[in-house]
Structure 1
Amino acid sequence: MSAAAAEQSDSRRRITVIYNPGAGRRNLRKFHRVMDRLRRAGCQLVLRETCHSGHAAELARQAIPDAPDVVVAAGGDGTLNEVLNGLYGSTIPLAFLPMGTVNVFAREIGLGRSVDRITDNILHGRRRQIVPGCCNGRYFLLMVSCGLDSHVVHRVNLKLKRLIGGAAYGIRFLQYMFSYPDLQMTVTADGRDYRTSSVIVSRGKLYGGSMVLVPHADLYTPSLQVVMLHKKGLRALLSYGWSFLNRRLWLRSDVTTVEARQVSISSEQDHPYQMDGDPAGRLPAEIRLAEQPVSCIIPEKTPT
């Protein structure tokens, strides 16, 4: 370990962990193994368990006066989003212990799944400034979208999700795709209007796990990547899905991708939008870059 890394780890001893207990047995075993390693490293842990939607944000806000060396969000991307919103505006760094269904943020930063790597990142990872997006006053690290995915996210069976994980989304998708509404919306990106049937406003390059949405994007560049899928109907939907799986979505002529700093989404229809994989609200949506960055703990090196 370098001298700088050692100095950083020596100062990262007071750790507040906000965790989602509904992560499943396998993930909870991983959680306790990470906690054991942190204790053996001499860390003073304050564990805060979430009890309901929005509770992680409340717990993060309550942690600020205690000024811990780091706050760890232990759960899925939705838990991370709540902790981000609770900490935003403070200088306390944010680390992630992935225990969710997809864990897109962990993939974006190259965190991996191993207990040793996650523990090492909490103790010795470097701080990196990331500018979140902001949608209708709420901050996000990954994305906001409106389309079939947001309808599925709003209607997924949460009990089934806890039992079978990401497969619950697939089941809801199959149930919903044949009654998928004829979406029409207007997207305004930095003053230019587009008509489309689905839109994803992303801070990073990945979508839904390891699928590449915008290959040149990264979390550390302060911009919004606006991806619009223009065609409608079941055939188009299946075709888009195939292009996603083959990492060729951005090459299609019926997909428009633009970079922006301010985006609005509106529709005469009533449609939900999702944020970082969780239900977030209904249109209209006003999206922009946040005014200040957050300090995130990321690995020194990404896995090859």
Structure 2
Amino acid sequence: MPEFASPYFIVNPAAANGRGARNWKEYRKRLLVAFPGMGECMTEYPGHASQLASELVKQGVRKIIAVGGDGTHQEVINGFYEALGAARLHEVLYALLPLGSGNDWIRTHGIPRKLAAWIDYYKNGSPQRQNLGLIHYQNSKGQAEQRIFTNVAGMAYDAYVVEQSANSKLKNRWLYPLLTVAYLRQYRPPKLELRFDDAAPVRSRFHTINIGICRYNGGGMRLVPQADPNGKTFALTYAPALSIPTILANGWRFYTDTIGRVPGVVCTSAKLIEVTAIGAKTDLVVEADGEWLGYGPLRFELLEGVLRFLGI
């Protein structure tokens, strides 16, 4: 793949339940006018966006745009990390052209969705920086792995719902909220130990633990309203085992900045976070940016200001 002075687009045709391919055909005509000489490539399978991003970066491409949703976005940035590591990741100027279902990352930064407005944003925006998170976890074979996340990582019920939603053919922004209600009765909160910075360990049955860099996840939920993409810490929100009536009565708070007012919910911040299962390893599962990853023990590290992206 040659280097392009114009941006290079990594397109996920499967985004938004297949609408990515249809939308790209129309978008491409207008983008070729706006960005003469642009490069493009299409993903063919899960994880391919990471490989393509890594290959492009190794070949010297430094303006890369992901076309898809939060999953494509995360894959592409993991490709940057694989090729450059944290210290040099800022060499790439990144942007996301949103074609996904949830599009949570763009909400924090106010990036437009409509193509005409997006082209104007890209041509007139300015480079900005954002933190990233590095998760250490285990895959289904018990092997140690790590993954970059850009938005929000979730454990306990959040990861359980993400795993269930991955098996659904329906892909839209309302799927996750609907499933968060549908699986409440069958869910059993795991007993976990949460450690962060110098605080005393918290041992409890947890309904949820969320670690945030940006403020939105799950199609517009605000489980980490205290998140600051350029801060010195992660946002950390956790809740013990909550009763179903409490969850249903306060469900509206998940979409406002008031989740911390739900009885038992704690909203705080931390730079280094570790979570372990008290019991079976499979009791602790994790998702990041809406993608199910694997199992604990888990360690979260903050990488300050390493992502350089085009902002408003």
TM range (shorter): 0.7 to 0.9
**3-state DSSP class of the match of 2:92?**
coil
1:282 paired residue number? 295
Cα 1:204–1:187 change in 2 (3 A) is same
Cα 1:25–1:53 change in 2 (3 A) is closer
1:131 paired residue number? 131
* Aligned-partner Cα distance in 1 for 2:26–2:230: 30
Amino acid corresponding to residue 210 of structure 2 in structure 1? I
Amino acid corresponding to residue 194 of structure 1 in structure 2? V
Alignment partner for residue 203 of structure 2, among 195, 214, 218? Answer: 195
Amino acid corresponding to residue 293 of structure 1 in structure 2? V
In the TM superposition, residue 263 of structure 1 has moved relative to its aligned partner by: 0.2
2:107 paired residue number? 107
In the TM superposition, residue 82 of structure 1 has moved relative to its aligned partner by: 0.6
2:248 paired residue number? 238
Question: Cα RMSD (Å) of the superposition?
Answer: 2.3
* Aligned-partner Cα distance in 2 for 1:222–1:36: 42
Cα 1:199–1:256 change in 2 (3 A) is same
* Aligned-partner Cα distance in 2 for 1:219–1:143: 11
Is 1:15 the counterpart of 2:7? The answer is: yes
* Alignment: residue pair count: 286
* Aligned-partner Cα distance in 2 for 1:107–1:56: 22
* Aligned-partner Cα distance in 2 for 1:187–1:18: 37
CA contact (8 A) 1:151 1:271 kept: no
In the TM superposition, residue 172 of structure 1 has moved relative to its aligned partner by: 3.8
Cα 1:194–1:102 change in 2 (3 A) is same
Cα 1:106–1:230 change in 2 (3 A) is same
Is 1:210 the counterpart of 2:190? The answer is: no
Amino acid corresponding to residue 145 of structure 1 in structure 2? G
1:261 paired residue number? 271
Matches within 5 A, 1:1-304: 13-23=5-15, 24=17, 26-88=19-81, 89=84, 90=89, 91-136=91-136, 137-158=146-167, 160-162=169-171, 165-192=172-199, 193-196=201-204, 197=206, 198-267=208-277, 268-269=279-280, 270-290=283-303, 293-299=306-312
* Aligned-partner Cα distance in 2 for 1:240–1:188: 27
In the TM superposition, residue 211 of structure 1 has moved relative to its aligned partner by: 3.0
TM-score by length of 1: 0.85
Q: Deviations over 1:3-28 (max 9, x none)?
A: xxxxxxxxx94221111111246544
* Aligned-partner Cα distance in 1 for 2:147–2:191: 24
Amino acid corresponding to residue 11 of structure 2 in structure 1? Y
* Aligned-partner Cα distance in 1 for 2:94–2:232: 18
Q: Deviations over 1:224-266 (max 9, x none)?
A: 0110112333233324423214542122341112211100111
CA contact (8 A) 2:217 2:290 kept: no
In structure 2, list runs of 5 or more residues that go unmatched: 137-145
Structure with the bigger percentage of helix? 1
In structure 1, list runs of 5 or more residues that go unmatched: 1-11, 300-304
In the TM superposition, residue 96 of structure 1 has moved relative to its aligned partner by: 0.2
CA contact (8 A) 1:72 1:96 kept: yes
Does 129-138 or 151-160 show the bigger shift? Answer: 151-160
* Aligned-partner Cα distance in 2 for 1:212–1:291: 22
* Aligned-partner Cα distance in 1 for 2:168–2:194: 34
* Aligned-partner Cα distance in 2 for 1:240–1:225: 20
**3-state DSSP class of the match of 2:113?**
coil
Does 28-37 or 217-226 show the bigger shift? Answer: 28-37
